[in-house]
Structure 1
Amino acid sequence: MSDDDKTYLPALTRQVSELVLAGSLQHAEEALSQAADEQGDYAVAEVLSTLPPHVTALHLSGFDGGKTSLATLLVPPKAWAESLAYLAATWPDNLIEDDPERIAEGLFNQVHGVVFGTDDIERRHELLQEASATDHGATVFAIIWSLAPREIHELAGEIIAKGPYTTGQTSSDSDFVPLALELAKASEDGWERSLIELFPEFRHSADLADAEFSDDPDEEPAHMQRNTRELLYRLRKQVPSVRSAPRRGARKSIGKDIFS
Structure 2
Amino acid sequence: MDDELPQSQRYSIRAVQRVCDIFDLIQEEPEGLTLRQLADGAKFPLSSTYRFLCTLLERRYVLKDPATGLFRIGPAFLPAQDDRLIALSDRLRPHMTRLRDQFEETVNLGVLVGCHVSYVEVVESPHSVRQAARVGDRDELHCTALGKVIGASLHADEVQAILQLEGLPRRTPRTITTEEDYGAELEKVRVQGYALDDCENDDDGRCVAVALRGVTPHAAISISAPASRFALDDVPEYAEALQATVQSFTERKSQ
Q: TM-score range by the shorter chain?
A: 0.3 to 0.5
TM-score of the two chains, using structure 2 as the length reference = 0.33
TM-score of the two chains, using structure 1 as the length reference = 0.32
More helix by share: 1
Higher relative contact order (CA 8 A, sep 6+): 1
